[in-house]
Amino acid sequence: MPIFQKQAQFIELLKNSRILVVTAETGSGKTTQLPQYLAERSDLFPKMIVCTQPRVMAAISVARRVSQELDGDSIGGSVGYQVGVGKGNAVPGSKIMFMTDA
């Protein structure tokens, strides 16, 4: 994925900034790869990584995909989702959570 070429730069920028705006083409890995890079560097980013999605199905499907890519697990372990009040499967040990933004 195109975003892979910028992985080190992305991590370095986030070490020195609280906010980072990332723009790239559709399918470049912004949603699926960047959260994984942060999760893999838990020494620098120990808190849960939260990513918003505009729709319920988007949050669930991207959580499924990232979970498979990250550790071959099904969602509900290191990767979870939250879609509305009480509708989700993130657990206390989850590293990444995808959630709806409304």
pLDDT single digits (tens) 48-89: 899 999 999 999 999 999 999 987 877 778 899 998 777 777
Sheet holding 96-100, edge to edge: 49-53, 96-100, 79-82
**pLDDT at res. 69:** 92
> Could you tell me if 73 and 67 are in contact, meaning their C-beta atoms sit under 8 angstroms apart?
yes
Q: What is the pLDDT of residues 26-52, one digit of tens each?
A: 989 999 999 999 999 888 888 889 999
Measured CA to CA, the distance from residue 3 to residue 7 in angstroms comes to 7
- Structural domain boundaries in the chain: 31-100
To the question of pTM greater than 0.75 for the whole model, the response is: yes
